[in-house]
Amino acid sequence: MMLAAVLCFALLDATAKHLSQKFPVPMLVWARYTFHLLLMLLFLAPTLRWKLIATQRPFLQIVRATMLVCVTGFAMAAFRLLPLAETTALLFITPLIVALLAGPFLGEQVTRRQWLASLTGFAGALLIARPSGALNLTGIIFVLAAALCYSIYQIQTRQLTPTENTFTMLFYTALVGAFVMTVGAPLYWSGPWPNLPEALLIASLGIFGGTGHFLLISAFRHAPATTLSPLLYVQLIWATLLGWLLFGDWPDPISLVGMLLIAAASASIATNRRTA
């Protein structure tokens, strides 16, 4: 289930990259959350009913969901400008930022190993985004903004987890995303209208996102996080292969080294949490 989940996320990113060459990124963000919301209403609402929206901390739920909407928008904008593999790798600096923010925001102690891992990961990010490289600067800014928002989202997720139901948290992300992007539609929608194959691809954004998160939750219910966490980095493999197969992109050797440094640093932090 975890391998299928990260494949769904990689397919979501690849589809968004393809569609963003023709359609406005905000419209794709709208589709991502609207179809995700429809899936939850169809499959979960009949059984969970009011439990799906019951929360003790509605304000934090909304702020957390808004952060994820920002992640999606910035990431899709980055995928439009950057290769799939390098963008995915740069997004994986999120655990490194979370490790550093966990001290002031969650009261967790940041160990020497976490500091070293974070510095290693950031060095890997610099290799990918190096000034002499071919990556678009605007795209790099977008992906770093996505990583920062994703870090805040994960910090807020940790704050909510002790009191909130997982499906409720998932529902609020879909609800807030669909609402915000629907209200803002007049500001960004200017066409063109998609044909049937394109409409199906746009709908698949919500299906890939919703299915991926459902599989992720299910996987963590069947196996411990220490077993599953390393499998998250298989997404880098999927992203590299899809980028090569669909767009003809292949990271240069220096970028590959940077990607390996980020993955190793993030895995080190995950292992540090397991042994702490």
For the chain, percent helix, then strand, then coil, each to nearest 5?
80, 0, 20
Mean pLDDT of 231-250: 89
d(CA 67, CA 44): 23
End-to-end CA distance of the chain: 27
Mean pLDDT of 65-92: 93
Residue 178 has pLDDT above 60, yes or no: yes
- Here the tokens at position 84 are 């799939």
Domain map of the chain by residue range?
A: 2-275
Q: What is the pTM of this model?
A: 0.87
Percent of the chain with pLDDT over 70: 93
pLDDT of residue 146: 95
* Chain segment 132-144, per-residue pLDDT in tens: 667 899 999 999 9
* Chain segment 95-116, per-residue pLDDT in tens: 788 878 877 776 777 778 878 8
* Chain segment 122-168, per-residue pLDDT in tens: 898 888 888 766 789 999 999 999 999 988 988 888 888 888 888 89
